[in-house]
Structure 1
Amino acid sequence: MNKIALTFAAVALMASCKENKQEEKTEEVQEVEVLGPMSEDNMENAVIYEANIRQYSPEGTFNAFTKDIPQLKDLGVKVIWLMPVYPISVKNRKATGGGFVSDIKDEKEREKYLGSYYAISDYTDVNPNFGTKEDFQNLVDTAHENGMFVILDWVANHTGWDHNWIKEHPEYYTQNEKGEIIDPIDPTTGKSWGWTDTADLNYDNKELWEAMTADMKYWVENHNIDGFRSDVAGEVPTEFWEQAVTKIEEVKPIFMLAESEKKDLFHKAFDMGYNWEGHHIMNKIAQGEETAEDWNKYMTKIDSVYQEDDMLMNFITNHDENSWSGTVQERMGDASEAMLALSFTVPGMPLIYSGQEYDMDHRLLFFEKDSIPKTKGKVWPVLVKLGKLKNENPALNGGKEAAAYKPLETSASKKVLAFEREKAGNKVVYIANMSKEPVKFSVNAEGSFEDYMSAEKVELQAGKEMELNAWEYKILINR
């Protein structure tokens, strides 16, 4: 009897332990946070990261990038934009210098040219050089597990010359008077853009609208991606984007970034556009061609051109700027950090491009394999601080409910840029010497602040003289 009792007791204890473990397991599962769709709230304090998979690592694969996703949280990244991940056309593939790979006689020389990401042969597959669809899905899942959204670079204006539509649906393409498919044309000049490795799509054909929308929808339905960055979005009819977004959002809400400043794109289709004009002004100020006053004039213009809830992406570099216009150091020199801080503190969403966080100072090859540095130097800790401020301080909200932006008068208006952001009692003041010489000045502002980058206390008084070294900046926060 004792043995039987002990046996029942042991079984009961085991069952009890098993139930407790199951309860613990259930509790653990309940603690896992599921990332919901991108929302307007997410946009307010997000940092976006442009991932160049080919050049991000020596391997140039999805997996090599995926293992670094968790540390992007340190930079405040909430949105990962993947440059095109699709197979690249071989026909008319370009080489460095502008010629076609097919014209190169040396076979080994031809092999090193991998083509433009933007000459796509299949919208619903991945570049085998990057890995498999399973590897891609692991990237997306890892990003979601780390609280980050993933958007795909979408090229709706043109395809590569190997795309199956060329043979199966030539009516989808723009054709000349001879009935030959042509590369994209600049509508202002009537001449080729020079993108001769691509074939121009003709949006007069409404069947193309259906096919293109279906291919976009594929990635949302099958891989749970969160939106798209749309290449040369302004060259594609706004009506196409509007109907595409409406159909895709039958699956889930998505985030749309336009490589454009066309304001009509924001009405129904896109959440954010490129701040190209602001970027070019930053370059010109850094090069001594424009002044702080030009920035203030631009911000006044923004108020009149865009609606209050329109959103722009701010940047000091991206894949186009780096490869074709020069590195941050080439274009901005000693002004680089002041401009980086500016991109985080003005209304909008700041961008980090692959390699920027590692002080990259070389132009990445566009058609060939290259690689970014992976040593954390001067820029990484600056981005960590700026990302934290952007994520956590409502005074830097930059989306549909953006914090107020107010320019501050200074006694050196051409050299010193000063403005205040404010929301719900939180204030951030940016003051920078936008010149290559030290400057003494006063700013029309009052209050007790903390220098965010140095943690020193700062008292602002109207008329009180301040001094900043060349390209020195301060980000002041109220406590």
Structure 2
Amino acid sequence: MEKNRKAVVYQIYPLSFKDTNHDGIGDLNGITSELDYLRDLGIDVIWLSPVYQSPMDDNGYDISDYYQINPMFGSKADLMVLLTTAHQKGLKVIMDLVLNHTSDEHVWFKEALKGKDNPYYDYYIWSEKPSDITSVFSGSAWQFVPHLNEYYFHLFSVKQPDLNWQNPRLRQEIYQMINHWLDLGFDGFRLDVIDLIGKDVHQKQLADGPYLETYLEELYETCFKGKEVFTVGEMPGISLKRANEITTTQKALDMVFQFDHIALDEVQGQGKWVLKKLDLIALKQTLNHTQQLFKHQGWASLFWSNHDQPRAVSRYGNPKEPYRKDSAKMLFTLLFGMKGTPYIYQGEEFGMTGIQLPIEDYRDIETKNIYQELKTKGWPEADIMNSIYAKGRDNSRTPMQWNDSAYGGFSTVTPWLKVNPNHIWINRDLDSKDPNGILSYLKTLLKLRKQYDVFTDGDFHLLEDQNPNLFIYERTTPKERVLVVCNWTSANIENPIKVDNLDILLTNASEHNTLKPYYATIFYEKRD
């Protein structure tokens, strides 16, 4: 992990990145064609969302064959060309691995359905009587199989049966598959909902279950030990404290994705669709807590958005002109000045925004299911759609906006999901020509992170902790100090910090005593 401390990760959602064979679906060759762009941006690691064989019920997170590539993305040979070319350009590639569940079309599950005497039956979780556990994608987490007179457990889609990690034979099959990809030269993995593999469903212990650390240790010993592997575990169901403990004690994970800061615009305990206004003071407290926990041990992941989370500039910034660019720069500055590994989600680097579609145009299974569930509960149509506009996963899955052509340069034909109409004025090519564009600013920010050790090693001190409008902090080592000042609002605000004698590493402003809307600056001071 030490070698990766200055790394920057870029997530690619292959369905929506770039289509080169003109079928409306992104493909592996499209990713390969843009590797120079990614390298020039300043990233080090590509995180590839799943491209395995899949019926695509959950856009590839329902894997039917861990060893094969979905033909819609290309071939295994195309994947190896991508990997080889990335390595030639100094980039690493990590695969997205879904180990909590498979597709119901996986051969293991097809065999399991043949009966209790089949050895694959115990690869999944069964019960004669369902509990009251509900699926993340709405409804019961149990699905009845009439000919077995039993229910199988699926925490996500009904087509995503959960694997029974308590079966040692299953675990060995998983480890064999992981070693296959490592032997091919892949540099690591993002491990989807990995906090669930240690669960005990019958005791209703799901996230951070009783066997989690045992299995992580076994995973390390069997697959990662003695190898230079980059790993990040998605753990939405654990606390910050546990995230720190796990990345400190478990060698299988370099860092985790933990979601405390992401859940602050939801009414606590009521799920992601019941919204509230984000309280900046609460965000400051949460991120400060993260930084203090990871001060001496463990490592943090720095992210605003991904394939499951809405676009950052729409969620936290201001997508309206003239504020979009400055708010995007402010969000990058605020987060990437902290200790941890920065994650950029495709299109975030030039300020792509969310989208508002009629319900029939959404493709995400979670969105379609929750629409029906909330209608059944009697929610007004407008309230349902407002929640979907804010939090629906298709916000971040619309095709990449490369240029202002008919389909945003993503494809020459109608894409699988509608392109955001604003691609005419929000696109990569347009932003890259703007000396004050988001891309130019982000490139500088990423260079600074690598140039100055204070961003990697410095202690974190939150300032103005009760200020409801400004996010200000400093990072310090015995030799250096940086001061990060951000205005979270669309108002002009007086700067409470004296900055006249400080050098400026990066700014989106010309005046520093009165802070313009979405102001962001990194000040620098060398210490003797």
TM-score (norm 2): 0.67
154 and 307 in structure 1: CA distance in 2 versus 1, 3 angstrom threshold: farther
1:61 to 2:36 alignment: no
| Whole-angstrom distance in 1 between the partners of 2:140 and 2:110 | 26
Q: Which residue of 2 aligns with 1:297?
A: 285
The letter for the 2-side match of 1:308 is H
Matches within 5 A, 1:420-459: 420-423=474-477, 425-443=479-497, 447-453=501-507
What's 1:380 paired with? 439
Whole-Å Cα distance in 2 between the matches of residues 310 and 161 of structure 1?
Answer: 36
Aligned match for 2:227, one of 221, 237, 252: 252
State the match for 1:276 in structure 2.
259
Counterpart of 2:65 in 1: which secondary structure?
Answer: coil
> What is the one-letter code of the residue matched to 1:172?
Y
* Higher-Rg member (1/2): 1
Residue in 2 that maps onto 1:265:
246
CA distance in 1, matches of 2:312, 2:303: 13
- Distance in 2 separating the partners of 1:185 and 1:282: 22
Correspondence list, 1:116-195, <5 A: 116-168=59-111, 169-177=120-128, 191=141, 193-195=155-157
2:328·2:438 contact (CA, 8 Å) conserved in 1? no
Helix, strand or coil at the partner of 2:102: strand
Which runs of structure 2 are paired with 1:12-411 in the superposition (5 Å)?
39-41=1-3, 43-59=4-20, 60-89=26-55, 94=57, 116-168=59-111, 169-177=120-128, 191=141, 193-221=155-183, 223-237=184-198, 238=212, 239-250=214-225, 252-260=227-235, 261=238, 262-263=242-243, 264-266=245-247, 267-268=249-250, 269-281=252-264, 289-291=278-280, 293-302=281-290, 305=293, 308-322=296-310, 328-333=313-318, 334=323, 335-363=327-355, 365-366=363-364, 371-374=399-402, 375-376=428-429, 377=431, 378-397=437-456, 402-409=457-464
Q: 1:303 to 1:394 in 2, by over 3 A?
A: closer
Change (3 A) 1:80 1:424: farther
Query: Which whole-Å deviations, capped at 9, do the CAs of 1:167-215 have from their partners, x for residues lacking one?
Result: 341210011217x9xx9957xx984644222111111211111111111
Alignment length, in residue pairs? Answer: 394
Stretches of structure 2 that go unaligned for 5 or more consecutive residues are 21-25, 112-119, 142-153, 199-211, 268-275, 356-361, 366-393, 403-427, 432-436
Taking the aligned partners of 1:87 and 1:442, their CA distance within structure 2 comes to: 55
1:366–1:224 distance in 2 versus 1, CA, 3 Å: farther
Query: Is the 8 Å Cα contact of residues 75 and 388 (structure 1) preserved in structure 2?
Result: no
Higher helix share: 1
- Please say if residues 408 and 420 of structure 1, whose CA atoms lie closer than 8 Å, have aligned partners that are also in contact: yes
Cα 1:75–1:478 shift into 2, 3 Å = farther
**Secondary structure at the residue paired with 2:173?**
helix
Shift of 1:147: 1.7
Equivalent pair of 2:13/2:48 in contact (CA under 8 Å): yes
Secondary structure of the structure 2 residue equivalent to 1:373: coil
The amino acid that maps onto 1:234 is D
Worse-matched range after superposition: 430-439 or 156-165: 430-439
Instruction: Give CA-to-partner distance per residue, 1:393-416, whole Å, 9 cap, x none.
Output: 21211xxxx321122348x72322
Deviations 1:239-287 (A, max 9, x none): 2222112221246221110111542431212111114222445899xx8
Structure 1 alignment gaps of length 5 or more: 1-38, 95-114, 459-465
User: 2:297 and 2:261 mapped to 1: Cα distance?
Assistant: 18
Aligned counterpart, 1:102:
none
State the distance in 1 between where 2:446 and 2:295 align: 26
Alpha-carbon separation, structure 2, partners of 1:457 and 1:146 = 39
Deviations 1:137-163 (A, max 9, x none): 111112212222111101000000111
Instruction: Tell me which amino acid in the other structure corresponds to 1:359.
Output: G
**Identity level (%):** 24
Q: Higher RCO, 1 or 2 (CA under 8 Å, sep at least 6)? A: 1
Task: State the secondary structure of the residue aligned to 1:159.
Answer: coil
What's the CA shift string for 1:426-473, capped at 9, x where partnerless?
Answer: 332100122332211422778531252369798xxxxxxx32122212
